Amino acid sequence: MDDTQRYERLRERFQNGDISRRNFFGLLGAAGAAYGLQMPFARQAFAQSDVSQVRFDGWGGVVSEAFRKFAFDPYTEATGITVIDGTFPGGDEYLALVRASQPGEYNIAHLSGVFDYARYHSFELNSELNLANIPNMANVMPALMNAFKSITPDSLSAAPYNYGTTGLAYNRKHISDEEMKEKGAKILIDETYKGKIGGWSDWRTRMWYAALQTGQDPNDIQDLDAAWDAVRKHRDVALKYWASGAELMSLMAEEEIYVTEGWSGRIHALQEQGHDIGYYDPPKSFGWQECLFVIKGSPMAACEELINFMLDKDTSIAVAEGQSYPPALDPTKVDLGEKIPKLPAFDATGTLSGLTFANPAYWNGNEAEWSKEFGRVQRGY
Amino acid sequence: MSIEQREARQPWILLTPALTAVTLLLIVPLMFIVVYSFWLKSAVGADTPGFFLDNWQEALTDRFYRDILLNTLKISAITTIACAALGYPAAYFIARSKGNKVVLLVLLMLPFWISYIIRTMSWINILGVSGALNSALMWIGIINQPIQMLYNETTVILGLVHFLLPFMVLNIFVSLDGIDTNLEDAASSLGATRWQGFLQVTLPLSLPGLAAGGLLCFVLSAGTYITPVILGGPRDAMFANLVYEAIIGQLDWPLGSALSLLLLMVLGVLVLIYNRYLGMAQLAKGLG
């Protein structure tokens, strides 16, 4: 008997005079209260069996537009499962939200970096994917998969999806290609451009570039004082720390700043819009890979289906072209078309040996100290 | 139950929903924050529950937090003074206008219909290198190159004044509107000039409204987070930004809790001082 029949039977008893008006409304109120109380928990309980929607959180802007247009809408059309499309300005903010949430509230996240994969694992927010449900994973570059397997050897919580670099973006009206190649990362601490320099308000990126500016290996910084001095110098010549990809694009497009480090895909999107902006990856530029991470408590079957759909060759290529980041698909196995090989950071060998990635153990080990120190340094200390 | 007993219970019955909401949505979360402030952050993984004073010791003794707190109070004080200077004439004009008072009040409330973030971001289009002001100055020929006006402490204060001015105007207006205009006429009939009448009659009587507006502007300004993020430069931060960075950037919820409680206590002391000398009734009038 469903709720409607229960209500009709109760109303009939009331109309027949079997129960008083007070009891009728009392029972209705009690039913309403019980329904209201059980709903939040029922949503969690039913999450695994009756899935009508999956929540996906990503970086917003052109990236989200590409996901929506080329992946989520076709997926919903094919399966009837709605994809709730959320955005976040940075990985740290998102992790704080997920930590404060109930299991099942957040499902799939477009996380950046292997260090994020390790962080989610350390907070026990990881799930276990059934790779048999994701046959398209076979086309993913082994180099990207191995990075995750080094953290969780027995299982995977995420599928690699794309990669890119955080290189140097510069306005060609004011800075020539030759000058950029000559100065490299040091252009971000060049007094000549004081007040026209930007930078991401992310402690990892600041320290990575400080390492490059002081001639050190970003994955093994020996002279920390020199690196922090470089961060301070950048702070003193910078006009603004940007906090999101949209802000980065706005600052460059409006010529508020002439040079900053920037995300390869976002800078490519600016170039596509007709802005005369150059992009240069200095030696040991900050390489990263992004993944589709399934968070603990999510409806696994639906999430795996969505991931498999997103890793499909046609979907993956369309999304990659839309967001301007090369896909995780192995170019030696899959024909990626003509446009993707021209994207910044593209690696035709499928080995990604030309890119320098952050060592998760090194960066996560220093996170507590360096993130706090950067908070002070950026305020003038 | 007697009529007296029933009448005595009625206010509590009416207050129950509000008290329940305040308890569940304010008091209980605040207690969580208090408890959290005594925990310790683990380098990796879950925080360490317990009763540790480390976060409080750091928040109270570290010069970094003290300096940013003092800077926050300084910015809030400047913002409040600017709001008072700009808001008093506007409130006086509205209170003394005849016929179109409602229209003026609606115009005053109009900015509240637009998101605070959008209003703050609008300054980028006005003061930016390719913004309206630079474009106009270059078109007129006053400057050849755009002037860098954004991303400094001045623009942070400008954004805060833009946000808080209506609160100040409304409070002063409520105070001025309640003053009998015959008092000013009486002062004139006794030989006072209009300026003297204003200084010696109107201004003293409107001071409670000015103080209520000042308190609101100061407290809201001191707790702001988004304005320095949007309009500030690398060094510009207010105390709420440190709370945000501790909780979000560093995932240090215990320290962030201690910092947020410290700010709450400082502002609480200011409210207590205000209540001691002026009473909260004036604030309720202004908000009403």
Residue A375 with chain B: CB contacts under 8 Å? 242, 245-246, 249-250
B111 in Cβ contact with B166 (< 8 Å): yes
Rg, chain B, Cα only: 24
Mutate which of B235, B239, B242 to disrupt the A interface (most A C-beta within 10 Å)?
Answer: B235
Residue A99 with chain B: CB contacts under 8 Å? 251
Tens-place pLDDT, residues A330-362 = 999 999 999 999 999 999 999 998 889 999 889
Q: Kindly list the domain boundaries of chain B, sorted by start residue.
A: 62-287
Residue A254 to residue B41, Cβ atoms within 8 A: no
Has residue A379 got a pLDDT over 80?
Answer: yes
Percentage of chain A exceeding pLDDT 90: 71
- Residue B251 contacts A, CB cutoff 8 Å: yes
Q: What is the pTM of this model?
A: 0.82
Q: How far apart are CA A77 and CA A69, in angstroms?
A: 12
A139 in Cβ contact with A311 (< 8 Å): yes
Higher pLDDT, B11 or A328: A328
* B254-275 b/e (C-beta count within 10 Å ≥ 16 → b): bbbbbbbbbbeeebeeeeeebe
Has residue A369 got a pLDDT over 70?
Answer: yes
Q: How far apart are CA A281 and CA A167, in angstroms?
A: 5
Rounded to two decimals, the ipTM of the complex is: 0.82
Residue B248 to residue A93, Cβ atoms within 8 A: yes
Residue A377 with chain B: CB contacts under 8 Å? none
Phi-psi region of A274 (alpha: psi -120 to 50; beta: other; left: phi over 0): left
Token couple for B84: 């008072």
What is the least distance, in Å, from the CA of A152 to any CA of chain B?
A: 16
Q: How far apart are CA B257 and CA A109, in angstroms?
A: 27
Q: Which residues of A touch chain B, with CB atoms under 8 Å apart?
A: 92-93, 95-96, 99, 119, 122-124, 195, 199, 203, 235, 238-241, 243, 250, 254-256, 364, 368, 371-372, 375-376, 378-381
B48 in Cβ contact with B40 (< 8 Å): yes
Q: How far apart are CA A117 and CA A180, in angstroms?
A: 33
Residue B41 with chain A: CB contacts under 8 Å? 368
What is the least distance, in Å, from the CA of B1 to any CA of chain A?
A: 22
Residue B249 with chain A: CB contacts under 8 Å? 92, 203, 371, 375
Has residue A239 got a pLDDT over 50?
Answer: yes
Q: Which residue ranges of chain B lie beneath pLDDT 70? A: 43-45, 280-288
What is the least distance, in Å, from the CA of A345 to any CA of chain B?
A: 28
Mutate which of A256, A260, A364, A378 to disrupt the B interface (most B C-beta within 10 Å)?
Answer: A256
Task: For chain B, positions 158-217, list CB contacts with chain A under 8 A.
Answer: none
Residue B43 to residue A243, Cβ atoms within 8 A: no
Residue B128 to residue A256, Cβ atoms within 8 A: yes
Residue B151 to residue A239, Cβ atoms within 8 A: yes
Residue A119 with chain B: CB contacts under 8 Å? 44
Longest pairwise C-alpha distance within chain A = 93
Question: What is the structure's pLDDT at A31?
Answer: 66
Which candidate from B64, B148, B150 shows the least CB-CB separation from A376?
Answer: B64
- Residue B273 contacts A, CB cutoff 8 Å: no
* Geometric angle at alpha carbon A221, from A220 and A224, rounded to 5°: 155
Q: How far apart are CA B83 and CA A67, in angstroms?
A: 45
Residue A364 with chain B: CB contacts under 8 Å? 44
Cβ neighbours of B183 (radius 10 Å): 13
Tens-place pLDDT, residues B124-153 = 999 999 899 999 999 999 999 999 999 999
What is the least distance, in Å, from the CA of A200 to any CA of chain B?
A: 10
Longest pairwise C-alpha distance within chain B = 83
Q: Closest chain A residue to B41 measured between Cα atoms?
A: A368
* Residues 6 or more apart whose Cβ sits within 8 Å of residue B207: B175
Question: What is the structure's pLDDT at A47?
Answer: 46
Q: Closest chain B residue to A100 measured between Cα atoms?
A: B253
pLDDT bin (cut points 50, 70, 90) of residue A9 is low
pLDDT bin (cut points 50, 70, 90) of residue A5 is low
Residue B254 with chain A: CB contacts under 8 Å? none
Question: Which string of DSSP letters, residue by residue, matches chain B?
Answer: --HHHHHHHHHHHHHHHHHHHHIIIIIHHHHHHHHHTTSB--SSSS-B-S---HHHHHHHH-HHHHHHHHHHHHHHHHHHHHHHHHHHHHHHHHHH--S-HHHHHHHHHGGGGS-HHHHHHHHHHHHSTTSHHHHHHHHHTS-SS----SSSHHHHHHHHHHHHHHHHHHHHHHHHHTS-THHHHHHHHTT--HHHHIIIIIHHHHHHHHHHHHHHHHHHHHT--HHHHHH--TT---HHHHHHIIIIIS--HHHHHHHHHHHHHHHHHHHHHHHHHT-SHHHHHHH-
**Architecture (CATH level 2) of domain B62-287:** Orthogonal Bundle (1.10)
Tens-place pLDDT, residues A196-206 = 999 999 999 99
Angle subtended by helix axes B54-61 and B253-277, to nearest 10: 60
| Beta bridge partner(s), residue A82 | A53
Residue B151 to residue A380, Cβ atoms within 8 A: no
Backbone angles phi, psi at A97, to 5 degrees: -65, -45
Residues written for chain B: 288
Question: What is the structure's pLDDT at A45?
Answer: 46
A56 in Cβ contact with A85 (< 8 Å): yes
Residue A375 to residue B150, Cβ atoms within 8 A: no
Question: What is the structure's pLDDT at A320?
Answer: 93
Backbone angles phi, psi at A163, to 5 degrees: -145, 170
Question: What is the structure's pLDDT at A262?
Answer: 96
What is the least distance, in Å, from the CA of B80 to any CA of chain A?
A: 24
Which candidate from A123, A238, A256 shows the least CB-CB separation from B234?
Answer: A238
Domains of chain A in start order, with CATH, are 52-163+288-355 (3.40.190.10), 164-286+361-377 (3.40.190.10)
Q: How far apart are CA A47 and CA A42, in angstroms?
A: 8
* Residues 6 or more apart whose Cβ sits within 8 Å of residue B8: none
CA dihedral angle for residue B104, residue B108, residue B114, residue B117, rounded to 10 degrees: 160
What is the least distance, in Å, from the CA of A374 to any CA of chain B?
A: 10
Residue B249 to residue A235, Cβ atoms within 8 A: no
B59 in Cβ contact with B254 (< 8 Å): no
CA atoms within 13 A on the CB side of B145: 4
Q: How far apart are CA B136 and CA B126, in angstroms?
A: 10
What is the least distance, in Å, from the CA of A127 to any CA of chain B?
A: 16
Rg, chain A, Cα only: 25
Residues written for chain A: 381
Question: What is the structure's pLDDT at B186?
Answer: 93
Q: How far apart are CA A14 and CA B272, in angstroms?
A: 57
Mutate which of B153, B230, B245 to disrupt the A interface (most A C-beta within 10 Å)?
Answer: B245
Question: What is the structure's pLDDT at A1?
Answer: 47
Has residue A23 got a pLDDT over 90?
Answer: no
Q: How far apart are CA A358 and CA B102, in angstroms?
A: 61
Has residue A290 got a pLDDT over 70?
Answer: yes
> Cα–chain-centroid distance for residue A61?
12
- Residue B135 contacts A, CB cutoff 8 Å: no
Average pLDDT, chain A: 89
3-class secondary structure per residue, chain A: CCHHHHHHHHHHHHHCCCCCHHHHHHHHHHHHHHHHHHHHHHHHHHHHCCCCEEEEEECCHHHHHHHHHHHHHHHHHHHCCEEEEEECCCHHHHHHHHHCCCCCCCCEEEEECHHHHHHHHHCCCECCCCHHHCHHHHHECHHHHHHHHCCCCCCCCEEEEEEEEEEEEEECCCCCHHHHHHHHHHHHHCHHHCCCEEEECCHHHHHHHHHHHCCCECCECCCHHHHHHHHHHHHHHEEEEECCHHHHHHHHHCCCCCEEEEEHHHHHHHHHCCCCEEEECCCCCEEEEEEEEEECCCCHHHHHHHHHHHHCHHHHHHHHHHHCCCECECCCCCCCCCCHHHCCCCCCCCCCCCCEECCHHHHHHHHHHHHHHHHHHCCCC
